[in-house]
Every structure is written in C-alpha cells, then in structure tokens.
Amino acid sequence: MQRYDVLILGSGLAGLTLALQLANHRKVALVTKRTLTDGASQWAQGGIAAVLDQTDSVDEHVRDTLIAGAGLCDEAATRFILSHAREAIEWLIELGVPFTPDANHETGFHLTREGGHSHRRIVHAADATGAAVIATLAAKALTHPNITLLENHIGLDLITGRRLGRGDVGCLGAYVFNKDAERVETLLADHTVLATGGAGKVYLCTTNPDTATGDGIAMGWRAGCRVANMEFLQFHPTCLYHPHAKSFLISEAVRGEGGLLKLPDGTRFMPQHDPRGELAPRDVVARAIDYEMKKHGLDCVYLDISHESPDFIRAHFPNIHQRCLELGIDMTREPIPVAPAAHFTCGGLVTDLAGRTDVANLYAIGETACTGLHGANRLASNSLLECLVLGRAAAREILAAAPTERLPVPAWDESQVTDADEEVVIAHNWEELRRFMWDYVGIVRTDKRLERAAHRIALLRQEIDEYYSHFKVGNDLIELRNLVDTADLIVRSAQQRRESRGLHYSLDHRETLAEAVPTVLPSRYGT
C-alpha cells in the first residue's frame, strides 16, 4: 500500500503536463500501462492548434471549432481552451519542444493547415509532433525527484467512499494491477486523475495504440461519474491501408498541404460530397470515403500528393514518407492507399474546466474527459491542445484544494478466486466485441444494428462478470472488462440520439434536429 499526494493514471500529454505542473509542490505517482512513451499522444502526427498569426483570431478558431462540432460544442468551454492555447504553446517552447521553424513567419515557426480550419494555425514538429512533445516532457518527468513512475501498471478500479461503505467521501485512490509482479497494489492519494486516453480498441480497425481500451472512462463510470456524448467516435479518414501497416495514420496535414483523394482510376471524388473538398471536416471525409468504398466495392481509396515536389514532400512528411517507402510505396511518385479507422473518442467523463468529475477528489483530463470542446466532431489538432490547457488548469485546482480526509482502506481481496482455467474465453470475447462494434456501430448506423450490438454486449458482460468473479485478474481481463463497459456506453448513447449529427450518422434518422442537445448518461448510482 503506497500513498501519494496525487495519483495520475495515464502518461500521455495530459498526464505528463499535469505531473510536471504539480511536481515542484506535490509528490506525484504517474501510472502507465506499458512504458512512459507508449500512449496515443506519442503517435500524433499533425500538430497543436493555436492562434499565433496576426491575421488569425481566437474568435475565428472558436467559430471553426463550433462548425466542426455540429452545434454541440459548449461555447464557453471552447473559448476558455482556445484562449489559453498560445500560453500552452509558449510553455512547450520554454521546455525545448523542437517545433518546425520558419524564418519567414513572425513567430519563427511553420504553421500548417488542416481540414475545418480557416487559417494556418497548426504548430508542429514535422509530421511527428506527438513524438517530439512527449520525448521532451518525458525527459523532464524522468529526472524530477517528486515524480514516481510506475510502468507496466494498469488501473483496475477506483477506491471510493461508496465502495468502502463510508458514504460519499469521494475518491481515495485506486487498485492497480502490477503486470510485472502479477499482483494488485493499493495506491492512495489525496487527488486521483484519470488521463488514460480514449477507446479506439473497441473497434476492429483503429489508429490507436493497443493501450486505448477505455480504461479511465469505464473506471470513472463504475465509480459514479456521468458520461456524455459517447456516440461520437471520430473515424480518421486516412489510415494507411496495407497488410503490414498496423494502425499507421496518414496525417490530415497531407490533405492540408494539397493531397487529393482519388478512386483507383484517378478520379477525384471529394468535391461531389462537399464544396470544401479534401479540407472538409473529418466526419464528412470519412463518410465520403466509406460511401465510395461501398459503392465501388473497394478495400481502400487513394491519397495523392505526388504532384508536389519530392523535396517538399520529404521536408514536410519525413516520417510518413519513410514508413511508406518501407512498405514499397513512394508517395513522391504514387498515391497512398488509405481507409477510415476509429481514431478519437469525443465523449467521455463529464468534467468542468478544471477537470473535476462528479466524484470528489477525482479528475479526468485529455481524451478520457468530455469538456464540451469537441461537440459532435473534433476539429483537427484541438486534442493535444485540450490536454495541455486542461492539464495546466487541473494542476491549479489541485494546488489550491484543501487537504482531504485520509481514511483506512483495505487491500485488494482475492482470497475467493483461483487462477484462470481457459483464457481463450478472453481472447474470443475480445475479438467478437471489436468485430461487431465495427460492423454494427461504425461510421454509418441503423437502429437494428445498434439493437444487435446491445444484445451481444449484454451476453458478453454476463460471461465477463462471471469470469471476473471467479478468477484472478490479469491485464487482458481488465482491458476486456473496460472495453465492454465502454462499448455499452457508446451503444446506449447512440440509441438515445434520434438524429444524424456530426460523427453519429443514422440511416433511420437522417435529419439533424433544430436543437443540439448533449447525450448525458446519469451516474449509475442515479445522482
């Protein structure tokens, strides 16, 4: 049993930002499922959106975000986050993040443009922004004496007063499974923060790393948090389509710099779907590609930027260019085969603008949270920004908070369970879940498909709950349990939305209602 001032589950940009903001004043535990740099933030290619140009304005960034969000963004939250963008970028620059320079721009940095943005406002580090940012912050965290890094640990369940039968005293910490020692440990803290990322692995095809199993969302939900807008799963339009290219993303910046989407015969199709063409928001582009693939019986379409000079392509997209070359694709001379894949969870645990959830002393930041910024569709490069701004805001709140009551907490009890006899059950259920979520709750939905998915989830939950009750926990069982809970939240939210809006498109409810209303699932405890 270990005690810290602050327990952070998740080591992506949100978790690292918070840890570094707190560490000079608090003892922090940073828990990560694998290694420190093994989350989705590391994979981010495009960049971070911020108003850094005199021809741009926060008002225009807000307008672009509201348009992309299909009327469902919280305007106050959106303005708060975007208004703090510049100072967040300046903090990263002070830490030494190597953003791509441009001597001809007033800031000294190159700004690119992505779909849905009316201006060039994406600061980036070539086409590997996430890797550059995470490497910089991780190096700082590793050398800070007040940050304890717990790698190969996965959150199992939150410890709350309600769980202990002590009333609503809030969150006291978490039970965490140590994968190396194969045991459950009790980590106590005055403040606990869920920064575990999204839930892309609930789908068969995803750009997310294997760690994106909805852990924080499921843990928060089980602890009594409300959940909002889980029906809005963003499918990135352009994931590299190749049998040996698992989850490799082709950045939206390729389209921002002139890349064109084409059919196998070279015909460009986006202008037929939206006047903005390739620069339409992601939900529009993903549906257009899905439509063309189904119409023509295709496994993929093609993204072509070969009309630009080879030097331009290699300079702007060195990592994408290199990865494609490794697979026999020369993007300077030929188009890249692409297809949509699950990419970003727009919904999550309901929080305020300091990351506070419905459970006292429990916070959620990053993709785990629903602040209202993304609405029904995330605008490109707003996600890393949200991690930065809310990570810094949560730090201010935690530092200003009064001391919390410290109660006795029992260790994890596994005296009534045994070692698993047939782990093939977990593997089978994992595969089945991801397959039917892809088929029934994908880019285009129907009432019947959602009903089928709900039925399958109910059956899977029975099997998993029985397994969980009788056998010792392990990483795969913990993740599967969280995936089933997250899938259930997605399907229930989708069933409640009787319209098509943003990322949720239903063939049975094609119209968009006049009033945009968030889908909020109340706490499982009814509060």
**34 pLDDT above the threshold of 60:** yes
In this structure, what DSSP letter does residue 109 have?
Answer: B
Q: What does the pLDDT read at residue 403?
A: 81
Residue 420 pLDDT class (50, 70, 90 cuts): low
Q: What does the pLDDT read at residue 408?
A: 87
Q: Encoding tokens for residue 482?
A: 């969280």
Task: Indicate which residues carry an active-site annotation.
Answer: 282
**421 pLDDT above the threshold of 80:** no
* Amino acid letter for position 376: A
Residue written as tokens 């305007």?
Answer: 75
Cα 280 to its chain centre, rounded Å, is 21
Q: Which residues of 502-523 are buried (b: 16+ CB within 10 A; e: fewer)?
A: bbbbbeebeeeeeebebbebeb
Q: Encoding tokens for residue 198?
A: 């999204």
Residue 101 pLDDT class (50, 70, 90 cuts): very high
Residue written as tokens 């089928």?
Answer: 452
Helix locations, 278-349, DSSP H: 282-296, 310-316, 318-326
**8 pLDDT above the threshold of 70:** yes
CA atoms of 48 and 58, how far apart (whole Å):
14
Backbone angles phi, psi at 10, to 5 degrees: 120, 135
Q: What does the pLDDT read at residue 526?
A: 67
The mean pLDDT value of the chain amounts to 94
Nearest to 15 by CA among 295, 216, 284: 216
CA atoms of 82 and 256, how far apart (whole Å):
21
Q: What is the mean pLDDT of residues 132-161?
A: 97
Residues 6+ positions from 153 with CB-CB distance below 8 Å: 31, 32, 33, 176, 177, 178, 179, 185
**Number of Cβ atoms within 10 Å of the Cβ of 269:** 19
Q: What does the pLDDT read at residue 104?
A: 87
Q: What is the mean pLDDT of residues 492-496?
A: 98
Span of 58-62, 124-128, 417-421 with lowest mean pLDDT: 417-421
Sheet of 301-304, strand order: 233-240, 336-345, 301-304, 260-262
Domains with residue ranges and CATH for the chain: 2-231+346-400 (3.50.50.60), 236-342 (3.90.700.10), 424-509 (1.20.58.100)
| Three-state secondary structure string covering 112-162 | ECCCCCCCCCEECCCCCHHHHHHHHHHHHHHCCCCEEEECCEEEEEEEEHH
Q: What does the pLDDT read at residue 84?
A: 98
Q: What does the pLDDT read at residue 527?
A: 53
What's the longest Cα–Cα distance across the chain?
A: 68
Q: What does the pLDDT read at residue 406?
A: 84
Percent with pLDDT over 90 in the chain = 81
Q: pLDDT tens digits for 180-236?
A: 999 999 999 999 999 999 999 999 889 899 999 999 999 999 999 999 999 999 998
**49 pLDDT above the threshold of 80:** yes
Residue 104, CA atoms < 13 Å, CB-side half-sphere: 2
Backbone angles phi, psi at 32, to 5 degrees: -140, 140
CA atoms of 12 and 391, how far apart (whole Å):
11
Q: What is the mean pLDDT of residues 152-158?
A: 97
492: burial class by Cβ within 10 Å (0-12, 13-18, 19+)? middle
Residue written as tokens 């530092």?
Answer: 399
| Three-state secondary structure string covering 399-463 | HHCCCCCCCCCCCCCCCCCECCCCCHHHHHHHHHHHHHHHHHCCCCECHHHHHHHHHHHHHHHHH
Q: What does the pLDDT read at residue 205?
A: 86
CA atoms of 46 and 115, how far apart (whole Å):
11
- If you average pLDDT over each of 245-254, 320-329, 468-477, which comes out highest? 320-329
Contact between residue 504 and residue 494 where contact means Cβ atoms under 8 Å apart: yes
Q: pLDDT tens digits for 65-84?
A: 999 999 999 999 999 999 99
Q: What does the pLDDT read at residue 204?
A: 87
**167 pLDDT above the threshold of 80:** no
Contact between residue 460 and residue 197 where contact means Cβ atoms under 8 Å apart: no
Residues 6+ positions from 326 with CB-CB distance below 8 Å: none
Q: Encoding tokens for residue 204?
A: 């068969």
CA atoms of 497 and 78, how far apart (whole Å):
23
- If you average pLDDT over each of 43-57, 68-82, 422-436, which comes out highest? 68-82
Q: What does the pLDDT read at residue 422?
A: 64
**Number of Cβ atoms within 10 Å of the Cβ of 463:** 15
Q: Encoding tokens for residue 526?
A: 């009814």
CA atoms of 510 and 114, how far apart (whole Å):
27
Q: pLDDT tens digits for 262-293?
A: 999 999 999 999 999 999 888 889 999 999 99
Contact between residue 326 and residue 320 where contact means Cβ atoms under 8 Å apart: no
| Cα angle 281-391-134, degrees, rounded to a multiple of 5 | 75
CA atoms of 230 and 396, how far apart (whole Å):
28
* Amino acid letter for position 353: L
